[in-house]
């Protein structure tokens, strides 16, 4: 119930094993590369702007090399 109205909850839980928030660029690229299904979109929301831009370029280069369509976004409030 929310504000007196009933809503059905259609949520799921997904677990990502092997991911570390303290991984370096190489580890993050390896994490993506080892995924069974590569993501269609990645949002970089944490870190210095220069580091996020470098990681974005590295992800895009890796995706091009492996012919994987990935969009890498840096949301406005994270830059």
Q: Coil, strand, or helix at residue 35?
A: coil
Q: For the chain, report the end-to-end CA distance as a whole number of angstroms.
A: 37
C-alpha–C-alpha distance, residues 70 and 47, integer Å: 20
What single-letter DSSP state applies at residue 7? Answer: -
Residue 69 resides in a domain: yes
Residue 2 resides in a domain: no
Residue 8 resides in a domain: no
Residue 64 resides in a domain: yes
Residue 38 resides in a domain: yes
Residue 17 resides in a domain: no
Residue of 42, 35, 78 lying closest to 60 (CA atoms) = 42
pLDDT in tens, 18-72: 666 667 899 999 999 999 999 999 999 888 999 999 999 999 999 999 999 999 9
Domain that holds residue 53: 25-78
Residue 3 resides in a domain: no
Predicted TM-score (pTM) of the model is 0.71
For the chain, what's the residue count?
A: 79
């Amino acid at each position: 119930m929310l504000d007196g109205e009933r809503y059905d909850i259609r949520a799921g839980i997904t677990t990502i094993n092997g991911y570390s928030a303290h991984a370096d660029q190489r580890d993050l690229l390896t994490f993506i590369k080892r995924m069974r299904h590569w993501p269609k979109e990645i949002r970089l929301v944490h870190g210095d702007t220069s580091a996020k831009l470098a990681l974005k370029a590295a992800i895009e280069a890796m995706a091009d090399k492996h012919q994987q369509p990935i969009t890498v976004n840096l949301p406005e409030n994270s830059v």
